[in-house]
Amino acid sequence: MSKIKGFCCNYTLSVDIEALIKEGLVPEDLEIERLPCTGRLEVPQLLDAFSDGAEAVFVVGCQLDKCHNLSGSYRASKRVKYAKRILEELDIDPDRVEMFFAGRGETEPVVEAARIMASRSKG
């Protein structure tokens, strides 16, 4: 299992993650799961990622006011908040899970998110 796990909605990240890894732009141990919409994401999925061995988990959805499915990324951000609370209860650093937002088709914010999470996973 990879050390960092990211969930991306279908409308962000237009580039294959392999190409990014090949170019050395993102950590090699990154795994991205594409979802039709991050609104579909449930809290257990986030937690499962940790129990599967991930050191850090992040979600990238549309910008809040421009979500393709209107409120998908808003729902996701609420669930990430909830996941943070659970991590806190379990005495795990809540920063190990984070919500990010990206414009349509943009790749750069995803890469940025992966890097931030990589630094947190080391810390």
Partner 1 sequence: MCTMYCPRPVVDTYNERLDITRAPHIDYAQAIPSSYYIDAKACLRVNYETCNLCAQTCTAGAIDFSQQPKELELKVGAVVLTPGFGRVDDEVLERFGYGRFPDVLTAFEFERLTCASGPTEGHIVRPSDNQVPKKIAFLQCIGSRDETCGNGYCSSVCCMYAVKEASVAKEHEPDLDISIFFMDVRTMGKGFDEARKRAQEKYGINVIRARVPRVDQVDGKLALTWTTGDGEHHSDLFDMVVLSVGLESPEDAETIARVTDIELNHYNFCRTSVDSPLLSSRGGVLVAGAFQGPKDIPESVTQASGAAAIASELLADARNSQTVTVTYPDEDKALEEEEPRIGVFVCHCGVNIAGVVDVKAVRDYAGTLPGVVLYEDTLYSCSQDALKSIAEKIKENRLNRVVISACSPRTHEPLFQETLRSIGLNPALVEMANIRDQCAWVHAQEPDKATEKAKDLVRMAVAKARLLTPLDQPTVDVTPSALVIGGGAAGMSAALSIADQGYKVVLVERSKELGGNLKRLKWTLDGQDASKVLKDMIKKVKAHKNIQVFTGSQVESVSGYVGNFTSALSRQGKTEMINHGVIVLATGGREYKPKGYAYGDSTRIVTQLELEEKLARGRGFLRNARNVVMIQCVGSRGDDMQHCSRLCCIQAVKNALKLKELKPELNIYIFYRDMRTYGFYEDLYREARKQGVKFIRYTLDRKPEVIKQSRGIKVRAFDELIGEDLEIPASLVVLSAGIAPGENEELSKIIKAPLTSEGFFLEAHAKLRPVEVAVDGVYLCGLAHGPKSLEESVAQAKAAAAKATIPLAKGKVAVAPIVSKVDQDKCIGCGICESLCPFNAIVLEKVGKRKKAKTITASCKGCGVCASHCPTIAISMGGFTDEAIMAQIHAFSPEGCEEA
Of 29-88, which residues contact partner 1 (CB under 8 A)?
A: none
Q: Does 25 bind partner 1 (CB under 8 A)?
A: yes
Name the residue nearer to partner 1 (CB basis): 26 or 57. 26
Q: Does 119 bind partner 1 (CB under 8 A)?
A: no
Per-residue contact track with partner 1, 81 to 110, x per CB under 8 A?
------------------------xxxx--
Beta-carbon contacts of residue 25 (< 8 Å; ≥ 6 apart): 111
Contacting partner 1 (CB under 8 A), which of 1, 19, 64, 90? 19
Beta-carbon contacts of residue 45 (< 8 Å; ≥ 6 apart): 7
